Structure 1
């Protein structure tokens, strides 16, 4: 698209009700937010355990900054690898039951870097049709032959694996799918990986910290195999930033030497690694956070199941409400915001045509009154008045 076409392109996005707008947050992440001067209940974030603003993490970050400074100064292989990074990687590996781990600046970077490191021309990679964009981009950029299988369809995947002549094969899936909140059959997928001598790459962005007593989806499924490559992000349930990949020691050593993002990107600040270490202790020690968020999930799920819109069942804090039409979805999201309830509208191309939705994210930071207010507003179709938001703010339940 040339410079003269940008205005027309943006106008077309507006007509389709697909033009995105960033909301300027004016308070720290939490159940209560203030967006562009408007107080609201925050059902938009992935801060599932309510740790993003936790004082223990804040203090760990401050102490880390005092010890290590703010910037890392270089990529990890030059001079940007600190003891804080080393200790965090060791603790992350132990936490998910793997031999070794490697920190990345984001899940997107990890997915592209790992897939590109292990795959190339002549290889084959197989991805679920509902995989996150970062996995799809990693598959495409790897230059391997990329085949997509029907969502959670093991027979379709097996037929594709059976037909490939590629020597190196990799199956890439989300453990928990970010828009529907459903889960991949990891044990069965690992069985196929063993049968067809393939890697299994698991992106556990939305399961880490929640499933398996917080240790993640692979641990919850009892999976242990050197062909399993485990990735989890640290900016959701863990409340910090970045991501890590865990697996066998030789795999991690290979990535240190070949993963382009790891080699060429300035390392994340070591103060964040200190916050990650503190987060692991909270995840392990405060199981009530998982208990609370899953109680919210059960309650909201029961309410949405009898509503007018489609609600795919999910046991995870991601609770989708399928509206279908982008304009109607945006309108409902705006009506809720007028009542001081922030639930984002998710539209194509993030989801398929005709599958626009509200994506409700629950957190341990929410209390019962907040969830009650959300249920009441959704039951009213978001038709409350702007004046209903007056009680949103510190102390409102």
Structure 2
């Protein structure tokens, strides 16, 4: 008798369809007439000529791939330049570039925490930090979202000698900010390291986009480790750890996602350097992101949806059930507005939403279209919820 070892996938898929949670890949065209409120291209630099030229120049100089791990053949002079430029920009002592932001978070946590240690993570931390906790084999305690008192209590109750506290600076689903100053205070009192993922803060928050850590005065503190991605505001690919030089040296020795991964491709390095140079020349880009986010939030509120004042590029429009959010996203796309749709497990059950992301280069004409489309769609979504 033959048994199909994949038969369970059919029932699993059917359950996800019934729950409105089935995910599908949507192939996009290189040129689109739709207005983009779905991507993380916060500064609108993904197709900027300088950024494209930066990528091309790096490919012509170094080739298409890094050719090996950073420790074998994958480190170029341009990797080192990018690390120095990013560290100087955010006020850190040193930087280390990884192949992705996900890899950077895995590398930091697993290299700095092990079986004899405690890791305290915010309940809203990104999936990469969640996976890093699991891989570290440390004892993991999850603190309620933005609950400094809970973090302080968990650190005070610990029996482990070493501890890490993990948080996003800007949380990706809601766009709210971590209480970094307060977290740092309790970490320092307890002798713990604070690891802050600036994926959604770098390029948007802080002086000229230097990030929330810089904004609140914690840049360069030896007990603060910053991770970030180059795939959002910097319109490229890759990740970086910005920290004390001792941390950098330890990661080169011990971070498996650095040691055993191929180095970041030259094109991404060149693109990220060009994007950083553009931000330096026009630091007001960061402020324009927040201005556009405020305008988008105003539209949602005018349509009767309770949306808090945005603190980042992310405007989270909670609609409730997964199918309602999915239908609203489809209705937006049908009218030329690309939006993000976050459903479980990305967000808790009953909080499915449209995740709208502002860009620095959204025009007034585009904002007018957004107001028309989003206003109509959200009004329809509210009717669907009340029906």
Contact 2:294–2:310 (8 Å) recurs in 1: no
- The answer to whether the aligner puts 1:218 opposite 2:221 as a matched pair is no
Cα distance, 1:382 vs structure 2:
5.7
Matched, 1:128 2:122: yes
State the alpha-carbon separation in 1 of the partners of residues 379 and 168 from structure 2: 36
- Unpaired runs of at least 5, structure 1: 34-38, 385-397
Task: Give the C-alpha shift of residue 309 in structure 1.
Answer: 2.6
CA contact (8 A) 2:198 2:212 kept: yes
Equivalent runs, 1:337-348 vs 2, <5 Å: 337-348=333-344
- Asked whether the 8 Å contact 1:335–1:383 carries over to 2, the reply is no
Please name the residue that 2:14 is paired with. 11
Per-residue CA distance 1:354-380 (angstroms, 9 max, x = gap): 000000011123211212211222222
Give distance in 1, aligned partners of 2:286 and 2:245: 31
| Helix, strand or coil at the partner of 2:34 | strand
Match of 1:174 in 2: 168
1:291, CA displacement in angstroms?
3.3
Query: How far did 1:306 drift?
Result: 4.0
Q: State the TM-score, normalizing by the size of structure 1.
A: 0.91
2:202 is the counterpart of 1:204:
no
Q: Which residue in the other structure is 1:91 paired with?
A: 85
For residues 94-129 of structure 1, what are the alpha-carbon distances to aligned partners after superposition, in whole Å with 9 as ceiling and x for unaligned?
111111100011111111111000110020000111
Q: Distance in 1 between matches of 2:133 and 2:300?
A: 35
Where 2:268 maps in the other structure, the secondary structure is helix
Correspondences of 1:1-397 after superposition (within 5 Å): 2-27=5-30, 33=32, 39-212=33-206, 213-223=208-218, 224-381=220-377
CA contact (8 A) 2:54 2:270 kept: yes
User: C-alpha separation between the residues in 2 aligned to 1:238 and 1:228?
Assistant: 22
Q: Report if the CA contact (8 A) 2:175-2:314 is conserved.
A: yes
Aligned-pair CA distance for 1:350:
0.5
Deviations 1:215-245 (A, max 9, x none): 1111111103111001111000111111100
The runs of 4+ residues in structure 1 deviating greater than 3 Å are none
Q: Report the Cα distance in structure 2 between the residues aligned to 1:329 and 1:159, rounded to whole angstroms.
A: 37
Is the contact between residue 377 and residue 383 of structure 1 (CA under 8 Å) also seen in structure 2? no
Shift of 1:301: 2.0
Cα contact 1:180–1:314 (8 A) shared by 2: no
Cα distance, 1:2 vs structure 2: 4.2
CA contact (8 A) 1:312 1:321 kept: no
Gaps of 5+ in 2: 381-387
Q: What's the TM-score, normalizing by structure 2?
A: 0.94
Aligned residues of 1:76 and 1:263 also touching (Cα < 8 A):
yes
Alignment partners' CA distance in 2, 1:108 and 1:155: 28
8 A Cα contact 2:44 2:360, kept in partner: yes
The answer to whether the 8 A contact 1:97-1:219 is kept is yes
